[in-house]
């Protein structure tokens, strides 16, 4: 059976990604490994400080049968991708499919982040994706770092509404308007339905990366 492994830094992501995978393809199995300490250490001491720990977690997921591993943390995603490549493992960073979709959606992109580290990894990825398609992009930087503590404490409703409120305050007054809103972190997925009134695409990473992972393990044809 084809299997997708997920490396998480928050327990809340397990159900999100498990449900999305079931909806996409019930024949694909999933394996989840949660290590909240990876993000804590990466923020405190830099992501290089957790390279060996990331390698260990990736090996554990592969030992459990993972054919592809999705790193669902934006902050450590680039490092997980690089470490996986060195080990000969297929690792997909959670924000890449979203970034690829964003640059196709329009030039003016609102990038929403509740962690500075997530914005610092996503913006270069957006530029890379834009360059690869010959597009030029402009960013509207929307930070809502005051909401992160609610996520850490498990108060997902306060976190989600706080993110949505921050987006609305930042982008509604803009002239010219943004073409697309990108919610940088998987933790923000439930804010998207609250922003339908913006009348522009609001992209989140979980569903798009699950689609990409399934295509890797179950190629069409």
Residues carrying CATH 3.40.50.1860, the chain:
3-94+207-217, 96-204
The 3-state DSSP composition of the chain as helix, strand, coil percent (nearest 5) reads 55, 15, 25
Chain-centre distance for alpha carbon 112: 12
The half-sphere exposure of 164 on its side-chain side, counting CA atoms within 13 A, is 16
Distance CA 137, CA 107 (A): 4
Stated pTM of the model: 0.93
Q: What are phi and psi of 84, to 5 degrees?
A: -60, -40
Domain 96-204: assigned CATH number? 3.40.50.1860
Q: Which fold has domain 3-94+207-217?
A: Rossmann fold (3.40.50)
Residue pLDDT tens, the chain, 221 long: 899 999 999 999 999 999 999 999 999 999 999 999 999 999 999 999 999 999 999 999 999 999 999 999 999 999 999 999 999 999 999 999 999 999 999 999 999 999 999 999 999 999 999 999 999 999 999 999 999 999 999 999 999 999 999 999 999 999 999 999 999 999 999 999 999 999 999 999 999 999 999 999 986 54
Tell me: cis bond preceding 176? Omega within 30 of 0 counts: yes
Residues in the chain: 221
Cα–Cα distances in angstroms (integers) from residue 78 to residues 101, 132, 153, 176, in the given order: 18, 18, 26, 32
């Amino acid at each position: 059976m084809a299997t997708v492994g997920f490396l998480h830094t928050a327990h809340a992501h397990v159900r999100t990604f498990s449900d999305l995978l079931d909806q996409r393809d019930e024949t694909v199995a999933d394996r989840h490994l949660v290590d909240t300490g990876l993000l804590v250490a990466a923020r405190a001491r830099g992501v290089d400080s957790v390279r060996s720990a990331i390698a260990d977690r990736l090996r554990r997921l592969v030992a459990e049968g993972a054919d592809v591993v999705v790193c669902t943390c934006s902050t450590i995603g680039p490092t997980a991708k690089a470490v996986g490549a060195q080990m000969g493992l297929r690792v997909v960073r959670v924000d890449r499919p979203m970034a690829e979709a964003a640059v196709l959606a329009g030039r003016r992109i609102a990038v929403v982040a509740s962690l500075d580290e997530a914005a610092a990894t996503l913006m270069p990825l957006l530029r890379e994706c834009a360059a690869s398609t010959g597009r030029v992009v402009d960013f509207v930087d929307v930070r809502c770092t005051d909401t992160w503590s609610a996520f850490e404490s498990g108060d997902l409703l306060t976190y989600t509404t706080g993110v949505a409120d921050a987006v609305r305050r930042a982008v509604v007054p803009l002239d010219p308007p943004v073409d697309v809103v990108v919610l940088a972190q998987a933790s923000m997925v439930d804010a998207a339905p609250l922003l339908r009134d913006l009348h522009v695409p609001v992209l989140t990473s979980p569903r798009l990366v699950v689609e990409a992972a399934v295509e890797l393990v179950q190629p069409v044809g």
